[in-house]
């Protein structure tokens, strides 16, 4: 009986999550919500993508948390999402996370780690990191 219940539960969860992801994956939906400053809708669309490893969604969610857009400001949460996206090679994220590490915003201050991230961003051509 438990096996049947688990199978039904998993099937239900997957059937409700997949359509939400399909809607959120449409860039015009998430960009349009963010552009309209409808942060509630943007958050609803970005969170599932970020949780599934979408680096641009992780970046945008980090910005919303860093700046307190539609959510309470959460520098530690922003740093977490920035770190996830930076690990996937997003140049902007390497720079942003580097700045947070340099100044200790939401993370312990770590100038050496910040320098590594800045160098990585510069190596990928980010002009601001090359200064």
Give the pLDDT score at 89: 78
Nearest partner of 30 among 41, 21, 19, 14, judged by Cα: 41
Give the pLDDT score at 11: 33
Q: Which domains are seen in the chain, by residue range?
A: 2-130 (1.25.40.10)
Give the pLDDT score at 30: 59
Q: What is the pLDDT along the chain (131 residues), one digit of tens a residue?
A: 443 333 333 333 333 333 333 434 455 565 678 788 888 888 998 999 999 999 988 988 999 999 999 999 999 999 999 989 888 877 777 888 888 899 999 999 999 999 998 888 888 888 777 76
The pair of three-digit structure tokens given for residue 49, joined into one six-digit string: 């993508």
Give the pLDDT score at 36: 86
Backbone angles phi, psi at 22, to 5 degrees: -60, -40
Q: Would the pTM of this model clear 0.85, i.e. be above it?
A: no
């Amino acid at each position: 009986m438990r096996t049947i219940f688990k199978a039904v539960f998993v099937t239900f969860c997957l059937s409700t999550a997949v359509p939400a992801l399909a809607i959120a994956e449409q860039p015009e939906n998430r960009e349009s919500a963010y552009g309209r400053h409808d942060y509630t809708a943007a958050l609803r669309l970005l969170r599932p993508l970020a949780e599934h490893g979408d680096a641009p969604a992780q970046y945008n969610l980090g910005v919303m948390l860093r700046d307190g857009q539609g959510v309470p400001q959460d520098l530690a949460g922003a740093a977490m999402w920035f770190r996830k996206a930076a690990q996937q090679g997003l140049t902007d994220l390497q720079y942003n996370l580097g700045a947070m590490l340099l100044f200790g915003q939401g993370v312990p201050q770590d100038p050496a780690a910040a320098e590594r991230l800045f160098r990585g961003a510069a190596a990928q051509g980010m002009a601001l990191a090359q200064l």
